[in-house]
Structure 1
Amino acid sequence: MQLAAAFALVFFAGTATAQSAAEPAPEGARAVNPQDPYENWNRKVYTFNDTIDRWALRPVAQTYRTFTPDIVDRAITNFFNNLSEVRNFTNSIFQLKGESAIVAAGRFTYNTVFGLGGLIDVATAFDLPERPEDFGQTLGYWGVGSGPYLMLPFLGPSSPRHFSGLGADGFVLPSLWDNVDSPYNYYARGVQIIDKRADLIPAEGFVSGDVYIFVRNAFLQRREFLINDGMVTQDPFASEDDDDLMLDDF
């Protein structure tokens, strides 16, 4: 449910942290979640994004999923994942994770040379599974707070730290996208978005309850998982009425 678009919030203060100093909620009203102090606004943006997704992006993704052979769909996904290894390598270096940097370099080499330019994920078969690293994780590694949960127009679930990381990964850090001349760059980005959205369609059946809360908790838990390299001992984002919500991969 994310569209590639530039957004002016890239300079949101990445060091900001959500505060629980909000005024007590009126009797009978839902208490403010300290991780989501802008919930009312976020829900409106979510409705906007969902409308665009239902009427534009999802139908295109469903058509793509219907007519694209599985082997071609997998190859396209592998190709774009292989491009992201440059990001994984760079951010692993920034986080002083030597092993992850070697894995990223190895994956890119294996998949590019032996996987037909990244169309086939041969690296996983060589016991080199992907280790996602982005600049948002780099900021978290060096102690930058996540900040409050944000639902951004077109971009979807985010936070000040996460969005600042997207900006750095997209416009500052070296990328193989820099070698793709316009307008082919935009065509490729469009295919990547449609492919990613199509891959999320099967997961829609796992969504239950309040969809907004489900998406919020899934995103926050996923980011917490990545920031801590999978070593999460508790869920700091769950509330008493969210116990039935489960983590999905965003």
Structure 2
Amino acid sequence: MRAVARRLSLLLGVGMLLLLQACATVKSADASDPWEPMNRSIYQFNDAIDTVALKPAAQLYVKVLPSMVRTGVSNFMGNLGDVWSMANSALQLKGQATVETFMRINVNTFIGLGGILDVASEMGIEKRREDFGQTLGYWGVQPGPYVVLPLFGPSTLRDALAFPVDMKGNVTNSLADEPTRNGLLVTRLVDTRAGLLKAVDAIKASSLDPYSFVRDAYLQKRLNDIHDGNPPSSFDYNEASSKP
């Protein structure tokens, strides 16, 4: 797992270095995406990896495992993710969200068979997804330019810088047994991709420019996440990039 993490970090670092080098010479019509040519190249690389590896694995996963089993896997992985969401809710001083997420974890862990059953949602305890990028945004850190990360996909400069913290905060990475960590990492990746099979196919089939569609959807979602569903009516990337 450590060797894999080092390789991923190296790829991420190289990709970020290339993007930073490109920003001085690359121009884009979209203020949010000044590194668009480089981002498109990385998007195409990621799409190729997805086509030959991730999508076939996700299709096999859906074909082999019954829907009930896949739901249990998603619930289990979501319960692990709730731990880091709770930590970030606390960092954002969101008392109610922190308490409710703590309740979700305990209900699903002890009543929901370790998180396989999402009993908390059935009880009306809201699920919240928080990460360190959202925490930085909550405290006023601007998103910066749009970035496509090698292997990991859409991001912003702020979220990319927060990504290593999110990786470190993932409860899976604290497990002592390396095979278990590796297994959970792969399972989470394949399960996530399986949940996007129809959505990704629909985007590619209906959009004239899937890259732009994914970029705009991601930026809107992140703005919505940081403002807890109540984003400002407009957001000027030119103005944001001029702030310290």
Please tell me the TM-score bracket, short chain as reference: 0.7 to 0.9
Q: Which residue of 1 aligns with 2:183?
A: 187
Query: Matches of 1:10 and 1:141 in 2, distance apart?
Result: 26
Aligned equivalent of 2:13: 8
Counterpart in the other structure of 2:220: 221
Aligned length: 223
Distance in 1 (alpha carbons) for counterparts of 2:53 and 2:142: 35
State the Cα distance separating 1:158 from its structure 2 match: 0.8
Mark the runs of 5 or more structure 1 residues left unpaired by the alignment: 13-18, 26-30, 239-250
- How far 1:189 moved relative to its partner? 0.2
Instruction: Note closer, same or farther for the CA distance 1:235–1:53 as it changes in structure 2 (3 Å cut).
Output: farther
Match of 2:98 in 1: 101
Specify the SS of the correspondent of 1:44.
helix
Q: Contact (CA 8 Å) 1:88, 1:132: kept in 2 or not? A: yes
Could you say which residue in structure 1 is the equivalent of 2:166? 169
Query: 1:37 is paired with a residue of what secondary structure?
Result: coil
TM-aligned CA deviation for residue 180 of structure 1? 4.3
Aligned to 1:203: 199
Q: Percent identity?
A: 38
Task: Using the TM superposition, give the Cα deviation of residue 152 of structure 1 relative to its aligned residue in structure 2, in angstroms.
Answer: 1.1
Give yes or no for the alignment of 1:80 onto 2:73. Answer: no
* Deviation at residue 176 of structure 1 after TM alignment: 4.8
More helix by share: 2
TM-score by length of 2: 0.84
Greater relative contact order, per chain length (Cα 8 Å cut-off, separation 6+): 1
**Closer/same/farther in 2, CA of residues 58 and 176 from structure 1, 3 Å limit:** closer
SS in 1 for 2:93: coil
| Alignment pair present for 1:124 and 2:121 | yes
Q: TM-score, normalised by structure 1?
A: 0.82
Amino acid at match of 2:122: A
Counterpart CA distance in 1 for 2:153 and 2:159 is: 11
| Whole-Å separation in 2 of the counterparts to 1:63 and 1:184 | 21
The alpha carbon displacement at 1:166 in A equals 1.9
Q: Is the 8 A contact 1:135 1:169 kept in 2?
A: yes
Q: Residues 9 and 169 (structure 1 numbering): CA distance in 2 closer, same or farther, change over 3 Å? A: farther
> Gapped runs of 5+ residues in structure 2?
18-22, 238-244
SS in 2 for 1:84: helix
| CA distance in 1 between partners of 2:183 and 2:140 (Å) | 37
Deviation at 1:41, TM superposition (A): 0.5
> RMSD value over aligned CA atoms?
2.6
Q: 1:237 to 1:193 in 2, by over 3 A?
A: farther
Contact 2:172 2:181 in 1 (8 A): no
**Range 203-212 or range 214-223, more displaced:** 203-212
